[in-house]
Amino acid sequence: MKRLGGMSVVLLAVAIVGAINWGLVGLFNWNLLAALFGGAVRTDVGAFTRAVYVVIGLAGVALIGWLPRLGEHPFEGKPRTPGEARPS
C-alpha cells in the first residue's frame, strides 16, 4: 500500500482550504482567507456563481474524508481485465 508523499499532502491541503473558502463565499458571502490575510471580506457574486462556489466547497469537505485513503490502490498494481468485478 503506497501512501501520498509530503508534497502531495501539502497540495491536497491547499486545494481543500481553497475549496472550503469558496464554499464559505457561496454560502455566507464571506471570504475566510481575506479575513485572515487582509482584503475584501465581502464580494458581490451572482446566484449561479454562488451555487458553483457551494458545490466546490462541498467537494473540498468531501476530500477531507478521503485523505487517509488516497494513497491506497485497491488492485495492488494488478490491472483489471475487461468484465472483471471490482473488489469490494
Question: What's the chain's average pLDDT?
Answer: 78
Nearest-angstrom CA–CA distance, 43 and 50:
10
Which cell is 37 given?
A: 490575510
Nearest-angstrom CA–CA distance, 13 and 48:
26
- Please tell me which residue, 74 or 25, carries the higher pLDDT value: 25
> What per-residue confidence (pLDDT) applies to 37?
85
What share of the chain has pLDDT > 70, as a percent? 73
For 19, the 3-state DSSP assignment is helix
Domain spans of the chain, in order of start: 11-69
> What per-residue confidence (pLDDT) applies to 86?
64
Its pTM stands at 0.62
Query: pLDDT digit string (tens) for 28-59?
Result: 988 888 888 887 778 777 888 888 889 999 98
- The secondary structure of 52-83 as a DSSP string is HHHHHHHHHHHHHHHGGGTT--TTTTPPPPTT
Nearest-angstrom CA–CA distance, 28 and 30:
5
**Band of residue 66 on the pLDDT scale cut at 50, 70, 90:** confident
Nearest-angstrom CA–CA distance, 3 and 10:
13
> What per-residue confidence (pLDDT) applies to 1?
42
